[in-house]
Amino acid sequence: MQLIDGKELAKNLRAEIASGVAALKAEKGVTPALAVILVGGNPASVSYVTGKEKACAEVGIASREIRLAESTTEKELLDIVKSLNDDPAIHGILVQLPLPKHISEKAVINAIAPEKDVDGFTPVNVGRMMIGEKCFLPCTPHGIIKLIEFAGMDIAGKHAVVIGRSNIVGKPVAALLARKETNATVTMCHTGTPDIAAFTKTADIVVVAAGRPGTLTGDMLKPGAVVIDVGVNRIPDASRPKGFRLVGDADFESCASVASAITPVPGGVGPMTITMLLWNTLEAARG
């Protein structure tokens, strides 16, 4: 059984991104820059934003942090996004989600200029992805494809089952797997699927993005399947300094005993999500 090391793949890709950033600076005098907007002080969001800024610094991408009070109005936030759209020194705009309840996430995402939408969340980028036009691919799904390839699997002709149909993971990863250049046959499962195991038992690849620990167990897998565990769940654990530990959506022990390869949590999909954000920011700066 192979542990698919997202940290190692992320490290390799980040080295490639760092040389791309250095070349762009040397050849065109352009430093890729990412604006990161954080509204309020949600601890998980603060830690995600800090991680993204640190990763930017490590590859030579400039980040501009815009921290706003929880009480910021939708109009104020939209004005900031619009001014960043018009700022030639900024190549990528990231709005950390979730936003406070009084702000429409849809309105804010829609306001980001598609050419600066390095998360790949705007309807324009999603539409371009669906019809196979050049676009920013959403970071987590793009990272998942890279992880499956890194595991040594030729995706073409394989049966992939995706558990989850969210707009940020399930739907786009299913769309990417089914693209002609990837060429998998894809089944998407969700809470309306009566017998998920009936599908996963025939799957060569299972991507589980449900946000529920234990959604995938070893007895649901075909021997030799590749498992990509996207879930990040906090489980109370008094033995840990923070009082919790992170687990994925797959029951690691039982899945690892049947799968040929599996991503760990943490250290699998997570490092790839940030890496693909850096990738998109470099692409945005290249123009």
Residues marked active site are found at: 52, 96, 119
Residue entry with tokens 């050049």: 134
The answer to whether 186 contacts ligand NAP (rule: CB under 6 A) is no
The nearer residue to ligand NAP, 84 or 249, going by C-beta atoms, is 249
CA atoms within 13 A on the CB side of 190: 10
Kindly state the smallest distance separating residue 56's Cβ from ligand NAP, in Å: 16
In DSSP terms, 265 is beta-bridged to none
Burial class (CB in 10 A: 0-12, 13-18, 19+), 109: buried
Q: How far is Cα 273 from Cα 270, in angstroms, rounded to an integer? A: 5
The nearer residue to ligand NAP, 35 or 247, going by C-beta atoms, is 247
The nearer residue to ligand NAP, 40 or 267, going by C-beta atoms, is 267
Whether residue 266 has a cis bond before it, omega within 30° of 0? yes
Site for ligand NAP in 86-145 (CB under 6 A): 140
The nearer residue to ligand NAP, 3 or 232, going by C-beta atoms, is 232
Ramachandran quadrant class, 92 (left: phi over 0; alpha: psi -120 to 50; beta: rest): beta
Which residue in the set 9, 135, 162, 163 belongs to the binding site for ligand NAP (CB under 6 A)? Answer: 163
Site for ligand NAP in 204-233 (CB under 6 A): 209-212, 215, 230-233
Window of 102-110, 123-131, 172-180, 188-196 that interacts with ligand NAP by CB under 6 A: 188-196
Kindly state the tokens that stand for 178: 């089914």
The answer to whether 192 contacts ligand NAP (rule: CB under 6 A) is yes
Residue entry with tokens 């499956």: 148
The residue ranges that bind ligand NAP (CB under 6 A) are: 140, 163-166, 168-170, 189-192, 196, 209-212, 215, 230-233, 269-270, 273
